[in-house]
Amino acid sequence: MLILGIDPGTATTGYGFIEFKGNSYKAMSWGLIETDKESIPGKRLVKIYEEMSAILKESKPDVIAIEKLFFATNAKTAMRVGQAQGVMFYCAARANIDVFEYAPGTIKKMIAGNGRADKKEMQQSLRKIFGNKVRSKAKQRTHFDNAADALAVALCHIYKISDINMKKDTSKGVNMK
């Protein structure tokens, strides 16, 4: 099974693919959809639609796991990200791919063991699970944390649907290939 994890955003959307077979899984690839912050909102949504459609057409994931929106203070940002997320749901529906949503706290709890883990803790946990290959591929500073978050969402989905649970010993790479 190929799971596409998505960390939705308007400026930067992270995505990551994890292949899951039996009780084994491995991170296959990850990346970003980035839009120009100076562009009008409609054009940004078109770019997200085009890139997400291309990703789905090329990779043909079996399911999509996406992080639920959670914003406590900035309603404007929440609305923009919600619009981008709507585009992603539309792309998935057009490709006939089921989408599963997970709350940020659930993802953090399942991956890092702490529902309030910060981005650094999440990346450290992912590196323990997948090895040091889970890093930014770019030489310049990027929003790799968005791609890492996307991998975490996909992994959370695997944990939710399988017998693999948080009791595994991630320090030894149990159930990972």
The residue from 19, 34, 51, 67 that is catalytic is 67
Residue type for position 103: A
Residue keyed to tokens 């089921």: 98
- Kindly give, in sequence order, each residue whose CB lies less than 8 Å from that of residue 103, ignoring residues fewer than 6 positions away: 67, 68, 70
d(CA 57, CA 142) in angstroms, rounded, equals: 25
The radius of gyration computed from the CA coordinates of the chain, to the nearest angstrom, equals 16
d(CA 162, CA 91) in angstroms, rounded, equals: 26
Residue 7 labelled as part of a binding site: yes
Active site residue 19: no
Active site residue 34: no
The residue from 7, 19, 51, 149 that is catalytic is 7
Q: What are the φ and ψ backbone dihedral angles of 175, each rounded to 5 degrees?
A: 65, 10
Copy the structure tokens of residue 72. Answer: 């406590």
DSSP letter string, 121-160: HHHHHHHHHH-TT-S---SS---HHHHHHHHHHHHHHHHH
Residue keyed to tokens 């690839």: 29
| Residue numbers belonging to the annotated binding site for Mg(2+) | 7, 67
Q: Which residues are annotated as a binding site?
A: 7, 67
Catalytic residues: 7, 67
